[in-house]
Structure 1
Amino acid sequence: MPAAASEINFSDLSNKPADSVRKLQESPNQTLLVHRRGDEEDLVLTTVSRAEEVREVVSTTTTLFIALMQQHADVRELVTDVMPRAFPWVRFLPREDMQAFAVELVETLEAANSLGAPAPVTRLIAEWQHTAEVYADPRLLDILRQSGEDLGDVPAPGAATA
């Protein structure tokens, strides 16, 4: 959320809705950060037109990126070379894994864009980041590379064991 966003408390939204809408309309980026109490996650209030603009920008950028990646192998190599600027932690991945991440990212971006759902992209990035964390820790990497017996499924926390 940009620092320039207007802010209100949730109680102001419910007690003074007209003032809250006015503040939203006067906001330079048409967004309003709504603070909630305690452990509740804050909210972002925006206009439909602003949300559609953001969606269009994300969709267009994603489509352009996908087209570039699919156009030529040199572009894929270039993206792999610049990945550390966007994701510094990829430096811990072997080059072939960095390339695999780039390909999987493009595929997931395309699928997520078609649904208008960013969650698969953020999940994929988190999964690859965890992989990089393993490569960054030589002791952990050594442990995970050891061969051993598969002990089967791990029960969910709190589940009864036989």
Structure 2
Amino acid sequence: MSAAVVETELAKFLADPEPLLAVLHGAQKIKLRCTGGEGLILNTALRADQDAPVLIATRRMAAAMLRTSAGRALFLDVLPTVFPWARFLSASDVRDFAVELAHALDTDDPADTSIVAQLIAEWQHTAEVQADPELYAVLTTDSPGDFGPVPEPGSAE
């Protein structure tokens, strides 16, 4: 089975859906790009039903492993392979990331990936800052005073 994702514009799909729906066999998905908005993924119900238990089992297994000392040690060993950007984190930050990830994985709704995705994005951004010595210095050094109020997003300055 192929895991290919066919991409197209939403408008093109809406104009003529038949050819694209024909590719929804096996593991294929259709990614619809939306102008000015979030894209969509079309998948078969069978494939979604197959993906859900795999995701849930993987999250539960990872959470259970991270609750043991051997599992935490293994996680810390493989972390730089899974998250290459983690090599820019301090040793204490890597441990904090592992603890926070364990908590995020061990949730009442293992099918909800948003918490884990947000956590990974936040730690990746932390690593990106720590990888840039100049940016890190700017962000961790006291500023020489107050620069005034910050305007609301989207408002005129």
Q: Please give the TM-score of this superposition, normalised by the length of structure 2.
A: 0.77
Structure-to-structure mapping, 1:122-161, within 5 angstroms: 122-148=117-143, 151=146, 154-159=150-155
- The equivalent of 1:4 in structure 2 is 4
Aligned-residue sequence identity (percent) comes to 36
Bigger helix fraction: 1
Q: Describe the superposition over 1:45-86 as per-residue Cα deviations: whole angstroms up to 9, x where unpaired.
A: 22222112111100001001111111x223212211210001
Q: What is the one-letter code of the residue matched to 1:75? A: G
Question: 2:134 and 2:12 mapped to 1: Cα distance?
Answer: 52
Runs of 5+ consecutive residues of structure 1 not aligned to the other structure:
none
Q: What is the one-letter code of the residue matched to 1:133? A: E
- The equivalent of 2:26 in structure 1 is 28
- The equivalent of 2:70 in structure 1 is 74
1:20 CA drift (Å):
5.0
Q: Describe the superposition over 1:107-140 as per-residue Cα deviations: whole angstroms up to 9, x where unpaired.
A: 11223x6163222211111111111111111122
SS at match of 2:62: helix
Residues 1:51 and 1:154: Cα distance change in structure 2 (over 3 Å): same
* Higher relative contact order structure (alpha carbons within 8 Å, sequence separation ≥ 6): 2
- The equivalent of 2:59 in structure 1 is 62
Residues 1:83 and 1:17: Cα distance change in structure 2 (over 3 Å): same
Give the paired residue count. Answer: 155
Question: 1:119 and 1:145 mapped to 2: Cα distance?
Answer: 29
Question: 1:39 and 1:86 mapped to 2: Cα distance?
Answer: 32
Q: Please give the TM-score of this superposition, normalised by the length of structure 1.
A: 0.75
Structure-to-structure mapping, 1:42-121, within 5 angstroms: 42-70=39-67, 72-111=68-107, 114=109, 116-121=111-116
Runs of 5+ consecutive residues of structure 2 not aligned to the other structure:
none
Residues 1:10 and 1:143: Cα distance change in structure 2 (over 3 Å): closer
